[in-house]
Amino acid sequence: MDTTFTLLAGSLRRLVAELRDALDSCAERQRQLERSLRVSRRLLRAWEPAETLAPEPTPGPETNEEAQSAACIPSPQDLKELELLTQALEKAVRVRKGISKAGEGNKAPSLKSGSIVTSPATRASAPPRTSHRAGSRASETKPPRGIRQTRVPTKDLPECRLLSVGDQACMGQGAGDTKPKSGLRNEQIVLSAASQAPEAFTLKDKGILLQLPEAFRKAASRNSRLWAQLSSTQTSDSVDAATTAKMQFLQKMQTTSGWPGPRLSATEVEAEVRHLQKACLLLRLRMGEELMADPQDWMQEYRCLLTLEELQAIVGQCLHRLRELCTVPRSCRPWRPSGCGWPCCTSRSTWKRS
């Protein structure tokens, strides 16, 4: 009985250790979540205009003019004219879209670009956007649509784009345009313009006006390009030669050292042992299931037999692996970018609204 109690006591202590460990990692995760939540909540509130005082002059010849005119506050006269112009443009787009999407049915309400969606249309700080882009987004009532479809109108109306560049110069607009050469603004212009208004910037109303700064975009695209290059498996002569050289070096290190040392590192052995312990458990459980099953016909009986044989084979393989652990030296494995320690840097998870 004594040994039983010590066994149980040992298990209990391990259990307590596991529970404490779980509590700690829960707390850590909670802290991380709280940090993210704070950031997200702050983003969804009104943004402090004080932080966006001095817009940085964006480098590049195409933005020089715009930088100079950034200081100008558009006069109400200009705004009114712009509004009228924009409405006219929207009408034109509506007509064109009406023709072009005759076959599309009713599934693209946003492409109608009917009303000027940003409701503060009369506000000095957030003038209505050029129609072909404005109509497609930011509406809370219309279902959001894919971005690709909205690019069609831009091609149809080149003259609108010129104007949009011009009016952006003064209004500090711009969002969602992929072509950097159109000289879209630093978003800080948007925010400083916005701060003139009585209402502060909220993501809900004007989120679509945002645009990432040029420098950041360049750095980010370079970053993803470099990661892709680094993780692509290169099989060139130089790579193979380097791999061979590395293996030879390792072997030489092993043979010239005075102490044989463990073949695999302690952590690796531990991990492998834990894994095989779990495997053993799963196999035993499955065996138990099969042994308790009561075959009704010969097919089930044969199936049971086959399953047990398969389990036997798997157990044999596990034993083989275990024996290898003790004897086979570690080899220089080629780098596999999609293993567990290397998050797949170019993949993204998508979530669809069903």
Partner 1 sequence: MGRRRRRRRVDPADAARALPEAIAALSQTLPAGPSPETFRRAKFDRPEAAPALWRLLFRVLSPQLADGASASFSPEAQVRSVKLALRTQGYPRRALAQLPDDGSQGGRELLLALAWLLARGPLPERLLTQNRVQLGDEMPVCECEALASPGPPAPSVEADGCVDIRHLQWLMGKLRFRWRNLMASQQEQCALLGKIHSYTRGCHSDRSLGHLSVTETELLRDPEGGRQLLQRLERENARLQAALEWRRRELVFWRWMDTVLGACPPEASQPTFLPRIPTPGTGALEPLVRELQALQGELREAVEARRAAWEAGVGGRGPEWSAARTALREAVGQDLAALRQACEQGGSCSLAQPHGPHRLVRTEAGVAGGPGLRAPEVIEALRSQEARLEVVLRQLQGQCRQELARLVGAPPGPVWILPPGR
**Residues 176-235 close enough to bind partner 1 by CB under 8 A:** 176, 178, 180, 187-188, 191, 203-204, 207-208, 210-213, 215-217, 219-223, 226-227, 229-231, 234
Going by the DSSP 8-state scheme, the letter that residue 296 receives in this structure is -
CB of 163 to partner 1, least distance (A): 20
Q: Does 293 bind partner 1 (CB under 8 A)?
A: no
Q: Which is nearer to partner 1, 162 or 239 (CB)?
A: 239
Q: Which stretch binds partner 1 (CB under 8 A): 64-72, 97-105, 124-132, 295-303?
A: 295-303
Output phi, psi for 209, to 5 deg: -80, -10
Cα–Cα distances (Å) from 8 to 1, 130, 274, 278, in that order, read 11, 74, 21, 21
Q: Rule CB under 8 A: which of 26-55 touch partner 1? A: 26-27, 29-30, 33-34, 36-37, 39-44, 47, 51-52
Task: By CB under 8 A, name the one of 91, 319, 324, 328 that touches partner 1.
Answer: 319
Task: By CB under 8 A, name the one of 57, 59, 249, 328 that touches partner 1.
Answer: 249
Contact 92/190 with Cβ under 8 angstroms? Answer: no
- CA-CA distance, 341 to 347, in Å (whole number)? 15
CA angle 308, 312, 315 (to 5 degrees): 135
299 half-sphere exposure, CB direction, 13 A CA radius: 0
Phi-psi region of 263 (alpha: psi -120 to 50; beta: other; left: phi over 0): alpha
Q: Does 246 bind partner 1 (CB under 8 A)?
A: yes
Q: Does 57 bind partner 1 (CB under 8 A)?
A: no
Q: Does 109 bind partner 1 (CB under 8 A)?
A: no
For 110, counting Cβ atoms within 10 Å of its Cβ (0-12 exposed, 13-18 middle, 19+ buried), the class is: buried
Task: By CB under 8 A, name the one of 99, 294, 298, 327 that touches partner 1.
Answer: 298
Q: Does 353 bind partner 1 (CB under 8 A)?
A: yes
Q: Does 286 bind partner 1 (CB under 8 A)?
A: yes
Q: Which is nearer to partner 1, 36 or 75 (CB)?
A: 36
Task: By CB under 8 A, name the one of 50, 285, 294, 296 that touches partner 1.
Answer: 285
Going by the DSSP 8-state scheme, the letter that residue 258 receives in this structure is S
3-class secondary structure, 47: strand
Q: Rule CB under 8 A: which of 139-168 touch partner 1? A: 143-148, 150
List CB contacts of 116: < 8 A, sequence separation 6 or more. 86, 87, 90, 128, 129, 131, 134, 135
Task: By CB under 8 A, name the one of 95, 162, 281, 293 that touches partner 1.
Answer: 281
CB of 334 to partner 1, least distance (A): 9
Contact 136/150 with Cβ under 8 angstroms? Answer: yes
What is the x/- site pattern for partner 1, positions 323-352, by CB under 8 A? x-xx---x-xx-x--xxxxxxxxxxxxxxx
Paired tokens of 197: 């208004």
CB of 62 to partner 1, least distance (A): 16
Contact 118/187 with Cβ under 8 angstroms? Answer: no
Taking Cα atoms as reference points, which of 177, 175, 184 lies closest to residue 208?
A: 175
CB of 185 to partner 1, least distance (A): 12
Going by the DSSP 8-state scheme, the letter that residue 103 receives in this structure is T
Task: By CB under 8 A, name the one of 124, 197, 200, 283 that touches partner 1.
Answer: 283
Q: Which is nearer to partner 1, 84 or 203 (CB)?
A: 203
CB of 78 to partner 1, least distance (A): 26
CB of 75 to partner 1, least distance (A): 28
CB of 84 to partner 1, least distance (A): 25
Q: Which stretch binds partner 1 (CB under 8 A): 60-68, 94-102, 112-120, 254-262?
A: 254-262
- CA-CA distance, 328 to 264, in Å (whole number)? 8
